Chains A and B, each alone.
Chain A
Amino acid sequence: MAASPIHQFEIIKLLPIGKIGGIDLHFTNSALFMVIAVALTALLLLGTTTSRQMVPGRLQSIAELSYEFVANTLRSTAGEEGMKFFPLVFSLFMFILISNMVGLVPYAFTVTSHIIITASLALLVFVTVLVYGFWKNGLRFFRLFVPSGIPIYILPLIVFIEVLSFLSRPISHSVRLFANMLAGHITLKVFAGFVTMLGGLGILGWVGAVLPLALTIALTALEFLVAFLQAYVFTILTCIYINDALHPGH
């Protein structure tokens, strides 16, 4: 059914790549839109910084603003030390932001509406925090799970809860982005579907279709806000987790 609200999330195989092990590898529409997002990011950043001017134009301004925005976020949460993670954080922010924005173009595929994508990004952050935390702090990294000033007899319980809370991070980190993008696009599609359904009913339906049409327009604006906010939330959580790897429990 073409009008199904979840039809837009279907993965379509575009080009066969080959077989590795028992897995059929294909270049899918998801991969295509990932390439588009990366290409747009590269175009924006490289294109505006090769011929940079003293007084920035619009595009150069966007590039500079995004750099300063992410740098300030990282500095304010993880401190000056956190800046060594700037390439990771900035790549994540730009990839998610551009993917979300590209997904809002009609007929485009939203890469971040699949949990496999957001989960891999969240796990990337999680593993980075684990590896760097242990590499830099050694066993002191476990202090993250041992709050100070807790009576000894409930300490084991608290440590269990802290560990569970730590393990739940990649889940909430990935589900939040995925669920927001999925729900937003389904809502948009459903309300836009109402417009065509009511419009098919004749003149009275046309009058009735005004309301869902207005809602669709309002929702589109809201989705642009959500697309930016979710990229920002993902980034700031990454910064908070990196801060934990840098300074566990001090």
Chain B
Amino acid sequence: MSDDPHVHGDRGDRPPDAAQISARLRHLGERLDRLRSRAAAESRSDATRSSNSTALARGLRLSTELVAGVLVGAAIGWLIDRSLGITPWGMIVFLMLGFAAGVLNVIRSAGVAPESGEKRGD
């Protein structure tokens, strides 16, 4: 009885250790990799699901994006006109630029164009 644990301890001690432990480590690493990739896949599917369920929230975003762009363009144009005295050219140019910015906002929040943070393509 008292021998048994001793024998066990001896067997799991030095000589077979290096090979056995490295094999065990490799096995453990493989299992971890498998689990990790499965978890990553699950979280990815979670992300797509949540993006579907927030489509309503995304739709609500569209309403003000265009107006905001035009408003900013108009404000900047008005300021430039007032400070440089080139009425109405600043307003004309910046209203059009603002409209373009508003359209860009809408396209971006609709998810058709990439967000400005992820422009490098990959």
Contact = CB atoms under 8 A, between A and B. Distances in A.
Is B truly associated with A?
A: yes
Interface of A: 72, 76, 144-145, 147-149, 157, 160-162, 164-169, 171-172, 175-176, 179-180, 229-230, 232-233, 236-237, 240, 243-244, 247-250
Contacts of A237: 61
B18 interface: no
B89 to A, nearest CB: 15
B62 to A, nearest CB: 10
Contact of B120 (A162, A172, A236, A250): A250
Contact of B61 (A144, A233, A247): A233
A130 to B, nearest CB: 14
Contact of B101 (A147, A149, A168): A168
B44 to A, nearest CB: 10
Given A168-B105, A172-B65, A176-B63, A232 B116 contact: no
A3 to B, nearest CB: 29
Given A229-B60, A230-B60, A237-B61, A247 B117 contact: yes
Interface residues of B, number: 33
A236 B55 CA distance: 12
A171 B64 CA distance: 9
Contact of A180 (B60, B71, B72, B118): B60
B112 interface: no
B103 to A, nearest CB: 9
Given A175-B64, A176-B61, A176-B64, A164 B76 contact: yes
A168 B117 contact: no
Contacts of B76: 164, 167
Interface string B69-95: 101110010000000000000000010
Given A161-B104, A171-B71, A236 B60 contact: no
